[in-house]
Structure 1
Amino acid sequence: MRLWKILFAGVGLSLSAALAQTTLTIATVNNPDMVTMQKLSGEFEKKYPNIKLNWVVLPENELRQKVTTDIATNAGSYDVLTIGTYETPIWGKNGWLVEMSGLPQNYDLEDVLKPVRAGLSYNGKLYALPFYAESSMLMYRKDLFAAKKIAVPAQPTWDQAISWAKQLNEPSKGIYGICLRGLPGWGENMAFLTTMINTYGGRWFDESWQPQINSPEWKKAIGQYVELVTKYGPPGVTGNGFTENLTLTSDGKCAMWIDATVAAGFLENPKSSKVAGKMGYAKSPVAVTPNGSHWLWSWALAIPKSSKHAEEAKTFIAWATSKDYINLVGSTQGWVSAPPGTRYSTYSNPNYLKAAVFAKTVLDSINTADPTKPTLKPVPYVGVQFVAIPEFQAIGTQVGQFIAGIVAGKTSLEDGLNQAQAAVEKTMKEAGYLK
């Protein structure tokens, strides 16, 4: 009888432990760093056995759509959202996110890069913590450039980049002169293209919110882009976003790639890249102005107000964005794979600096990207590769589709940009920005 009671008590304890367990549903993007986070999350579950993690890993465009719909409708499907410097201040202002206050003492918020913190705040309150942060830069094959006796300066120009693409394009050998994003989306082709338009002297809107899409500056930048991707890039460019170009470059098929600095850690990892040790890094090319030539972005983790497990979600986010997590990645996956761009301590860590030959270029690029002065001419908005207004998500994606149509030869440059201009004018009038 006594033994039966002991056994029953044991069953009761295990049942209560199971009932006390919280499941967090985490929505994230299928970028390599997030795949690593998922892979290492068993360490979190060991440390916090009362919290179980349920992962929803999606391509970038799909993630943005699902997360935006979920939070706008207060559906409550997720406890942790992977969002960026575009959404965070807007959603924080709307009251859709839990403020990131009351963090553990050892979290050391002052160690997080100031420009990154600022980008994830609204009215001085922090609404997300950065998993990694990035700017954009030129990544190139040192061996191919050396063979053509091309020296790359720390700050290249677009004229130089265009010349190099022509010289290095050898599709018969499986080498393309340049790889650039072509997949339509405000955070895909338009993220890259906005920086190109900025440095060519263009802007999305003038000071009165009048769209500038069919301006001479846009025509020059987009015309140059279309020539580059159709003559010196891989086929099927309108299907290539960040992830596809990362694969192409790591397979050795791109002589140059201008994109997110976070890619460098993947390219330098011999486990995932055929070009590890062969890559060089320089700042994003400039044309008529350095303003807005390279972006500032962070993929960050946030908690929607609809989550029923906000405290547990904060515990997970603090773990995934901590110094300890960075050290865990460095010690288990190799220091070149450590999440970049978030903490000053990472850039003073000798292990990271030894492995990450790109570290200085990345840090300089993040620190010099200025979302408050993204263009040559004055603008009424903040944001380098996006416009920080709620309507931009739809506007950017729509314009990205028009530009993909130009690249695919479905419409001329002139007609495509005129159609995009008319569409954005209509949206801005309906939203009340224009009379």
Structure 2
Amino acid sequence: MSTRIVVVGGGTAGARLAQRLPVTLLGEEPHAPYNRLLLADVLAGRYGPEVIALPAAREPARLGARAVRIDRAARTVECADGSLVPYDRLVLATGAAPVLPPLRGLRGAELPSGVHPFRTLDDCLALRGAVRPGVRAVVVGGGLLGVSAARALAAAGAEVVLTQQGERLMERQLDAEASALLHAHLTDLGVEVHTECRVSGLRQRDGAVTAVELADGFVLDAGIVVLACGVRPRVALARAAGLDVRTGVVVDDQLRTSDPHVHAIGDCAEHAGRVYGLAGPALEQADVLADLLLAESPAGATGGPVVSAPAAEPGAARRAPAPESGTAPQAPADPAGGARPLPRYTGTRALTRLTLGGARPLDLAAFGEATPLPGDDVVRLADATRGAYRKVVVRGDRLVGGVLLGDLGAVGTLARAWEGDEALPDAPLLHLLTHDGGSS
């Protein structure tokens, strides 16, 4: 490809695009791109940092290169070291930053010693260096990230307290029964879990954290505090450049921003009013954009060599020909006549999976709407002895959501039925929860 493509961000989305296309990748972190989903395993000591590295990019990345300004008129990206990187197409894959809650004792971005976010490999390594057997660690936030951090800290020998402001753990993904099983599993791992518990402040001595204060006046001693309160899209660079930004950087079905020469993918992108913040959609967006840029390239137009996409993963985006638009790029000619339809991103149905270790590891998966509406059909199978739970929600003849803990034998078939949004077979609904999802 002769088009100069610059990618800002070396996370999941940016790294995927750099595997597919020859691009200039500007990675703010000093590390080669890595799998962020495995940071908890690094913290637990199960993997070394080198094990979670992602496949290499087609071109060497510029690591430690922080983009500070976009000049859209000159089509250049300025880095913190003063260098200018020209582009024909710019891809923003700036990801998301951890949310720092408004707690007494937190002042700006300067964190007291012992207080850690849990988002990057540097965060993980700093936290791993601080953990020692018997240290008291308080995790603030009982969502997916907080649960993962609590499990990893317990595996590393810390005495862990997990605080969740909501009524149950992972309330965005799990229903009450599944969350109760997760609560019991963490307790078995030695984690002390507090729900409906709001953290209001931090106590410190000589610049180091000593305790966490709760809104009801209770105080939790702490040598380590992990802030796992969610993330928010990193959009400052895009906003300063004058691009359309709402919650994320607004993109269309071809992942273009309000500037047709600038795209956005991954955790920083907002498509059809939604910011996903998950790995599956980030990978799918990167693949759609790679296909689009290849289709527009001279090689793509003439049948030249095309980089093949990796195999699709669960949560695949549905792709369709783009509708005609006055600003849409022109489709290359098809040798058989007519125009080859351009790739189009129409959203991702993302499935959440998590494995929690321990003497009895626990696998969980959740997708779609786990809470039924009036008139929905619900099928549940529970085995309290084995700590297994399966539930699906059916609306009409469509599978709209599900939760599985323990045995995930049916998750593949269920995920395909949900992602495809196709009518379910005419069979008893209980068959959905068998190991083969009722396919035999």
Q: TM-score range by the shorter chain?
A: under 0.3
- Bigger RCO (CA 8 Å, 6+ sep): 1
User: Relative to total residues, which structure has the larger helix share, 1 or 2?
Assistant: 1
Normalised by the size of structure 1, how large is the TM-score?
0.25
User: Relative to total residues, which structure has the larger strand share, 1 or 2?
Assistant: 2
Normalised by the size of structure 2, how large is the TM-score?
0.25
